[in-house]
Structure 1
Amino acid sequence: MLIAFYKNLSTAASRERFFRTLTLELGVDSSEVDRAVSTWQKAKDQESRTKAAWQIQQASRPMYTSLFVPISNRPEGIKFLVDLRSDVIAASKATPTETSAIRLLNDSLRQSLADWFSVGLLHLHCIEWHTASADLLEKVMKYEAVHAFQGWDDLKRRLAPNRRLYGFFHPSLPAEPLVLLHTALTCQVPAAMKHVLEQPTDQPSAEDATTACFYSISSTQKGLAGIDLGNFLIKQVANRLLAELSHIQTLVTLSPLPAFRGWLEAQLQRHIDFQGPPQHAWPALLLSTEREAISSRGLRPHDDSQPVIEHQTAESELAWALTDDRWCRQDMQAHAACIHQILLRLAARYLYIEKRRSYALDPVANFHLRNGASLWRLCPMADPSPSGMQRSFGVMVNYKYVLEDVAANNHAYIVDGTISVSAAVKQLTASSHCPSQLSG
C-alpha cells in the first residue's frame, strides 16, 4: 500500500512533503532514547552496560527503518527502495535548509542498501552483442556516463571480439545492470580515445592482446550513490581477464579529468584579479620559462578587433587562448605545442599535488587511487570531443593497476594520502611543489 501511494506522488514537491511527514511521524522516538540512556547511567557492571549500549543503539534508529525489510521482501521492493533513495538525495539537494532529517533518512536507506548490495550478493556478467537482449543493450547506451554512444553501430564496435563489457547484477534486479565497465584489449596502452572507440582493421584479436584498458565505468542507479561497487567490479574483472587471457600483462585505464578545466580557469582568474603586494600573491601557477615563452610568442593577436588590456600578463594571455578553445584554431597552431606542455604540467600538478583533506582533488583520481592504482601517464588531446575539451582541454590519464601492489598503494593513500606515481608524471610536477589555496 505504501509503495502504491508513493508511486502516485507525481511531483518533487509532493515527494518532499512525504519525506517530511515520514521523518516527523516515524523518526527517532525521543522517549525511547531517554529510557535507554537512563538504563546506561544506572548500569553497574560490564554486562549491564553492554545491554544498555545495545538499547541506545536500537532506540536511536528511526522507526521508519522497520519498514525497509518488509518492503524489500515484496516483488520489486528492492528496486523501489533504490529509486526512493534517489528521490531522497534529490530532495536533500533541493531543500538544503531542511536537510538534517532527510539526511538521516538518506543515511538509513544507504546503510540498508549497502547490506543488500554487498559484493558477495552480486553477479558478474560479460555482456555480449549476440547474446544480450535488446532491452539490456538499450540500457547500456542509456547509462553510459563518460563517452556517449553514437548509435547501434557504435555499440556494436564497443562489443567487438577484442572488447569486453562487464556488469554487476543483483538477483532482485536481474535485468538491471548496477555498474558497467568497458574494456579494450590491445597490444599497447592506449593514449587516446580514438585508439579505443574506432575499430581499425589491424586491431589485435583478444588472443593476441597484452593490455586490458578500462576506459569507461558507469554507475547506473542514483539510489546506490556512496555504495562502492565500481572498486569491486574493476578488481573482479581484472582477475577474470588474467585468468582467461594469460597473455595479458598490463592493466590500465584511460580516464577523464572531469574537473581539471574548472580548476585551471579558476586558478588563472585568481592570478589575473590579484592586486595585492607580491608577498601576498597566490603560489606561482606558471614557471618562469613558461612565462617567457608566452610573452615572447604573444598569444593574443594585436589588432583593432581585440580589446586592449592595460596590464597584460602571461596568465591573462593563457586564459585568453584557453577561452572557447581558441588555442586549437588553425591560426593558433604555432602556439599549440607550448600550450600542450603547460597543460600537461598543470594537469600533473592538479592530480598529484592539489589535495582536498589529504586526498586527490580530482574525483576520478581519488576513485582509482583509493582502489590501489598508480598515476602512470598523462595523455594530451586524448579526447578532443566537445565534452572532453569541456572537462579537461582534451587531457586524459592512464592509471595502472598492478594487482600485487594494489593493497600497499591503497593503504598508503588511505592512511596518509601518499599517491603512487610514475617517474614521468612526478618529473612533470618537479617545479610545482606549492599547492593552490583553492583546494581544501
Structure 2
Amino acid sequence: FNAIPQGVKFLVDLRADLLRFLPEDPLLKPLDRELEARLTAWFDVGFLELQRITWGSPAALLEKLVQYEAVHEIRSWDDLKNRLDSDRRCYAFFHPRMPLEPLIFVQVALLENMADDVQRLLDIEAPLADVGKATTAIFYSISATQAGLRGVSFGNFLLKRVVDDLKRDFPRLRTFATLSPIPGLVRWAERNPEELAEAITPADWKRLRTLGLADLDAAPLAGLLGGDSSWSGDPALADALRDPLLRLTARYLLEARRGDRPVDSVARFHLGNGARVERLNWLADTSTKGLRQSWGVMVNYLYDPDSIE
C-alpha cells in the first residue's frame, strides 16, 4: 500500500471507518491494532514534512483548512485570509504520500502580550499587529485532520518544530503560550453538581442574593450545568459568577483526573507536553459554542521552549 498511489490515504480512511464500528464489534480490535501499528510506523515524525501555509498556497489546500478547522470555525474567505496575514502564521505536517492532506495544523498569532480574548484575536477588522514588536507567540488553534490516525501522536513534534521556526524568524519572541478552549468543563460540572456548590463561597452567595438568587435552583443558576448562557447577557450576574466559575475551572483543570491524566482532552495534550496552566481568562470566548462548553472561560498554557516533550 505504501507504494500504491493513494494507498496510504486508503488505509487511513479504512481505519477511520473501522473506528466507527469498533464499539459495536469487538472482533475488529485485532485489525485495528494491526492498522494502528502500521500507520504509526509510516507516520513516524522523521517522515513528515513541516510546511508553512500562506494565502498564496494552493486553493485546494486552503479549502482543506476550512474543512478541517476543529477549534474556531472559519466562517469566510476573509476570516481565513485574516488568519494567514502577516501577523499570523499557520504550519502543518504533511506526509509525502498524502501531499495535499495536512495531517495536523496549528494557527499562531504574533503579539506583544498574552492573548485573553479569542473574539478580539479573530476580529477581521482589527489592525495588523507590528510583528517587529512581537514578543509572544500564541497558539490559538490546533486541529488534527485524520480520524484514522487516532493514537498516532505527532502534535508535540509539530509544536517543537514550529517554535524552532518562529525563534529563528522572530528573535524577539520570549513567550510561547496557547489560548485554549476547555471543551469538557460544563459536561464535567453537570456530572458532578456538588463541585459547583462547593465553588460558591458565602461571600459569593451574599452577592448573588443581592441579585435575587438564593440557591442553585433559582433561574438562571439552574441552567448553568446545562450550558444555558442567558446569564452572560446580564453584566451584574456575569460579574457575580466570575469568581466561583473560575474557581471551579481551576479545580477541573488541575484536579479532575481519569487515572493519572487530566480529564480534559486539551489539558491532557498540553500538560503532557510540558506546558503549565498559566492563566484563566473570563469570557474569553463568548461564541455560542464557547459559552456552552466552558461558560466562555479559556486558558493560557505556557510553554518553556526548551522543555517541549
TM-score normalised by structure 2 residue count: 0.93
Match of 1:284 in 2: 198
State the AA in 1 paired with 2:257. K
What is the CA–CA distance in structure 1 between the aligned matches of 2:198 and 2:115, rounded to whole Å?
33
1:314 is aligned to 2:239: no
Match of 1:104 in 2: 30
Match of 1:159 in 2: 84
Residue 326 of structure 1, aligned match among 211, 215, 230: 230
Q: How many residues align?
A: 306
What is the CA–CA distance in structure 1 between the aligned matches of 2:137 and 2:157, rounded to whole Å?
17
Cα offset, 1:390, TM superposition: 1.4
Partner SS for 1:87 = helix
Question: Residues 122-154 of structure 1, C-alpha deviation per residue, up to 9 Å, x if partnerless?
Answer: 000000102x11100000100000100111111
Match of 2:300 in 1: 398
Partner SS for 1:75 = coil
Match of 2:101 in 1: 176
Report the RMSD for the aligned CA atoms in angstroms. 1.9
Specify which structure has the higher proportion of strand.
2
Cα offset, 1:298, TM superposition: 2.2
Partner SS for 1:218 = strand
State the AA in 2 paired with 1:153. D
Question: Residues 397-437 of structure 1, C-alpha deviation per residue, up to 9 Å, x if partnerless?
Answer: 00011123445xxxxxxxxxxxxxxxxxxxxxxxxxxxxxx
For 1:116-265, list aligned pairs within 5 A: 116-130=42-56, 132-200=57-125, 202-265=127-190
State the AA in 2 paired with 1:107. R
Determine if contact 2:79/2:124 at 8 Å carries over to the other structure: no
What is the CA–CA distance in structure 2 between the aligned matches of 1:252 and 1:77, rounded to whole Å?
37
TM-score normalised by structure 1 residue count: 0.66
Match of 1:85 in 2: 15
Q: Which has the higher contact order (CA 8 A, sep 6+)?
A: 2
User: Is the alpha carbon distance of 1:399 and 1:298 closer, same or farther for their aligned partners in structure 2, counting shifts above 3 Å?
Assistant: same
Cα offset, 1:230, TM superposition: 1.2
Partner SS for 1:316 = coil
Query: Which of the two has higher C-alpha Rg?
Result: 1
State the AA in 2 paired with 1:82. V
Cα offset, 1:186, TM superposition: 0.8
Determine if contact 2:78/2:124 at 8 Å carries over to the other structure: no
1:388 is aligned to 2:278: no
* Structure 1 unaligned spans of 5+: 1-70, 273-282, 300-312, 408-440
Cα offset, 1:201, TM superposition: 5.3
User: Is the alpha carbon distance of 1:88 and 1:201 closer, same or farther for their aligned partners in structure 2, counting shifts above 3 Å?
Assistant: closer
Residue 113 of structure 1, aligned match among 20, 32, 39: 39
Determine if contact 1:186/1:203 at 8 Å carries over to the other structure: no
User: Is the alpha carbon distance of 1:128 and 1:406 closer, same or farther for their aligned partners in structure 2, counting shifts above 3 Å?
Assistant: closer
1:76 is aligned to 2:6: yes
What is the CA–CA distance in structure 2 between the aligned matches of 1:390 and 1:154, rounded to whole Å?
23
Question: Residues 4-46 of structure 1, C-alpha deviation per residue, up to 9 Å, x if partnerless?
Answer: xxxxxxxxxxxxxxxxxxxxxxxxxxxxxxxxxxxxxxxxxxx
Determine if contact 1:271/1:315 at 8 Å carries over to the other structure: no
Percent sequence identity is 39
Partner SS for 2:115 = coil
What is the CA–CA distance in structure 2 between the aligned matches of 1:360 and 1:148, rounded to whole Å?
26
What is the CA–CA distance in structure 1 between the aligned matches of 2:43 and 2:84, rounded to whole Å?
27
State the AA in 2 paired with 1:129. W
1:293 is aligned to 2:293: no
State the AA in 2 paired with 1:286. I
Cα offset, 1:77, TM superposition: 0.9
Residue 347 of structure 1, aligned match among 208, 232, 249: 249
User: Is the alpha carbon distance of 1:256 and 1:201 closer, same or farther for their aligned partners in structure 2, counting shifts above 3 Å?
Assistant: closer
What is the CA–CA distance in structure 2 between the aligned matches of 1:235 and 1:396, rounded to whole Å?
23
What is the CA–CA distance in structure 2 between the aligned matches of 1:316 and 1:239, rounded to whole Å?
51
Determine if contact 1:265/1:319 at 8 Å carries over to the other structure: no
User: Is the alpha carbon distance of 1:237 and 1:271 closer, same or farther for their aligned partners in structure 2, counting shifts above 3 Å?
Assistant: closer
* Structure 2 unaligned spans of 5+: none
For 1:2-17, list aligned pairs within 5 A: none
What is the CA–CA distance in structure 2 between the aligned matches of 1:208 and 1:334, rounded to whole Å?
37
